Amino acid sequence: MEHKLYIYNTLSRKKEQFIPIHEDKVGMYVCGPTVYGDAHLGHARPAITFDILFRYLQHLGYKVRYVRNITDVGHLENDADSGEDKIAKKARLDQLEPMEVVQYYTNRYHKAMEALNVLPPSIEPHASGHIMEQIDFTKKILDAGFAYESEGSVYFDVEKYNKKYHYGKLSGRNIDEMLETTRELDGQSEKRRSVDFALWKKAAPEHIMRWKSPWSDGFPGWHMECSAMGTKYLGEEFDIHGGGMDLMFPHHECEIAQSTAALGKETVKYWMHNNMITINGQKMGKSLGNFITLEQFFTGNHPLLSKAFSPMTIRFFILQAHYRSTVDFSSEALEASEKGLERLMDGYARLQKLTASDNSTVETDGLRAKCEEAMQDDLNTPIVISHLFEALKSINLVHDGKATISKSDLDELKSVFKLFIEDLLGLQDESAISGTNDAYKKAIDLLLNIRLEAKQNKNWATSDKIRNELTALGFEIKDTKDGFEWKL
Ligand code: ZN
């Protein structure tokens, strides 16, 4: 495959050329949501970041198997090895079956992702549907000698693993220090060390979500699902594992340890992490009162929001920053993104209406190459966007009659804009009604063409009637030298 895609590998801490393990096939795993509440801005960023990667790899010609899981069991409060299961707690509070909670929030997650134009993954496995695989994986780690059973639970032996391999290689945490500071806790719990983590937990009598295993009636530890499901669907060695930076430790560190302990080799070639979103400079959190769900963004129903923001504004806002940079959200920042997106989409619409001349007096050369180059530099979407904005200047010059563009240059410009705006950045025109999109646009164009004819025939009554009634419906109509422009 002819390309120079470089991606930043968290494991090696540098940008590396992307060379997949199996020629034209790419295996990609991203940690999905724990479905006990509505998706918020912190869910949108990894979903959009890895959607861009998914789209770009396919554009390069790869056959991509994209696995994004649903966590519906084993994720305990505070990401710890004790405390209530997040799903079970929500089910108890709402007096529902745990699987009702899972279904409800999975449906809502899908709806929010669809609104953000995030493509569905190839496989979306649920942890609760892969208990057998997780038990088998745990057995492999026990057989390899890197886990121990205690009171019906199974724990990973971090100290023993670290003697042979390196626990902490992904997050850069110093394991010797961690072992030293946790030694005094010995004997106070069923774990040998507090850094050890659960592969299987024995369920307390009141715990509803439970399955049979060789050790106890219980449930898998949170990190186990990604090792078991990733290798089940992508093989013992696969290309990319992604997720938010907050998952790097302990979740991904533990996953590396589990897979290496069970299989005796490194499973993932490239680890990728998106950075976090802060809100007015603060970390997001339910207790901080700045926790804004995607639905609240779409409706504007939250005290920190000045108004409602469309899904495409959220998507554009996220793409305006590089995925490894932090992003600070504020209502003003979103308003600026909204204006920027409108300018870009207006320019894109204007491009469709330009007429070609015999030759070009604007520079359109190299736009495609510049945008590709930015994508290949670790998915630098803000640079792609700035190149597109730069090209808007040429579009406007031609539109205003101050420059000309040849047929071939115009076709190229249209093709580059479609590729990057629609196919790769996944930005959609929200001014039109979805589903009936095309017919709807054509109907408005038809009405305005009738008005144009009426004007030419000096039939002012008809011309004014069409204009006034469309304006009353909320359409903005502008007469131009070539005819008209409109938007809702
Ligand atoms: Zn995971």
CATH of the domain at 31: 3.40.50.620
- CA 242 to centroid of ligand 1, rounded, Å: 9
Instruction: Report angle CA 313, 317, 318 to the nearest 5 degrees.
Output: 120
Tokens 């793409």: give the residue: 319
CA 62–ligand 1 middle distance (angstroms): 24
Per-residue pLDDT of the chain (488 residues; tens, 9 = 90+): 678 999 999 999 999 999 999 999 999 999 999 999 999 998 999 999 999 999 999 999 999 999 999 999 888 887 888 888 999 999 999 999 999 999 999 999 999 999 999 999 999 999 999 999 999 999 999 999 999 999 999 999 999 999 999 999 999 998 887 777 665 555 567 898 889 999 999 999 988 899 999 999 999 999 999 999 999 999 999 999 999 999 999 999 999 999 999 999 999 999 999 999 998 888 887 667 678 999 999 999 998 899 999 999 999 999 999 999 999 999 999 999 999 999 999 999 999 999 999 999 998 889 999 999 999 999 999 999 999 999 999 999 999 999 999 999 999 999 999 999 999 999 998 875 444 566 777 888 889 999 999 988 999 999 999 999 999 888 888 888 778 888 87
| β-strand pairing of 153-156 with 147-150 | antiparallel
Same domain, 318 and 458: no
Q: Do the domain assignments include residue 9?
A: no
199 & 314 share domain:
no
- Together in a domain, 322 and 377: yes
Q: Are 420 and 388 in contact (CB under 8 A)?
A: yes
Residue 187 CA, ligand 1 centroid: distance in Å: 30
Structural domain includes residue 43: yes
Both 191 and 72 in a single domain?
yes
d(CA 487, CA 474): 9
Tokens of 111: 């709806």
Measured in angstroms, how far is the CA atom of residue 229 from the centroid of ligand 1?
9
Residue 27's DSSP bridge partners are 65
384 in the same domain as 267: no
Kindly state whether residues 481 and 391 are assigned to the same domain: no
Looking up residue 412, the CATH number of its domain turns out to be 1.10.730
Query: Are 427 and 446 in a shared domain?
Result: no
In this structure, the answer to whether residues 295 and 376 fall within a common structural domain is: yes
Measured in Å, residue 71 CA sits from the centre of ligand 1 at 8
Res 368: pLDDT: 97
Boundary (domain end) residue, out of 432, 447, 467: 432
pLDDT on residue 187 = 53
pLDDT at 435: 45
How many domains, the chain? 3
Q: In angstroms, what is the span from residue 443 Cα to ligand 1's centroid? A: 48
Instruction: Establish if 2 belongs to a structural domain.
Output: no
* CA dist., res. 119 & res. 114, Å (int): 7
Q: Is residue 62 part of a domain?
A: yes
Q: Are residues 418 and 471 in the same domain?
A: no
Give pLDDT, residue 1. Answer: 60
Which of 274, 305, 336 is the endpoint of a domain?
274
pLDDT value of residue 406: 96
Of the candidates 309, 299, 304, which has an alpha carbon nearest to the alpha carbon of residue 334? 309
Counting Cα atoms < 13 Å in the Cβ hemisphere of 382 gives 10
In this structure, the answer to whether residues 183 and 219 fall within a common structural domain is yes
> What is the reported pLDDT for 183?
56
Boundary (domain end) residue, out of 407, 432, 457:
432
Q: Are 289 and 296 in contact (CB under 8 A)?
A: no
In this structure, is residue 293 part of a structural domain? yes
CA of residue 302 to ligand 1 center, whole Å = 30
Q: Is residue 442 part of a domain?
A: yes
- Tell how far the Cα of 1 is from the centroid of ligand 1, in angstroms: 30
- 482: in domain: yes
Distance 224 CA to ligand 1 centre (A): 8
In this prediction, residue 365 carries a pLDDT of: 80
CA of 437 to the centre of ligand 1 (A): 38
Query: CA-CA distance, 415 to 142, in Å (whole number)?
Result: 55
CA distances to 95, 105, 334, 348 from 314, rounded to whole Å, are 33, 20, 7, 19
* 303 C-alpha to ligand 1 centroid (Å): 32
Q: Are residues 117 and 174 in the same domain?
A: yes
Distance 225 CA to ligand 1 centre (A): 7
Query: Which pLDDT value is given to residue 436?
Result: 53
Query: Do the domain assignments include residue 355?
Result: yes
**CA 98 to ligand 1 center in whole angstroms:** 20
Output the CA 463–ligand 1 centroid distance in Å. 60
Q: What is the per-residue pLDDT for 433?
A: 47
- CA 480–ligand 1 middle distance (angstroms): 54
Cα-to-centroid distance, 40 and ligand 1 (Å): 18
- Based on the domain organization, do 268 and 294 belong to the same domain? no
| CA–centroid distance, residue 123 to ligand 1 (Å) | 14
pLDDT given at position 82: 82
Specify the pLDDT at position 421. 98
| Separation of CA 378 and ligand 1 centre (Å) | 22
Query: 185 alpha carbon to ligand 1 midpoint, in Å?
Result: 28
Tell me how far the alpha carbon of residue 148 lies from the centroid of ligand 1, in angstroms: 22
Full domain range(s) for residue 97 = 16-274
Cα–Cα distance measured from residue 488 to residue 474, given in angstroms and rounded to the nearest whole number: 6
* Residue 245 CA, ligand 1 centroid: distance in Å: 12
**pTM higher than 0.75 for the full model?**
yes
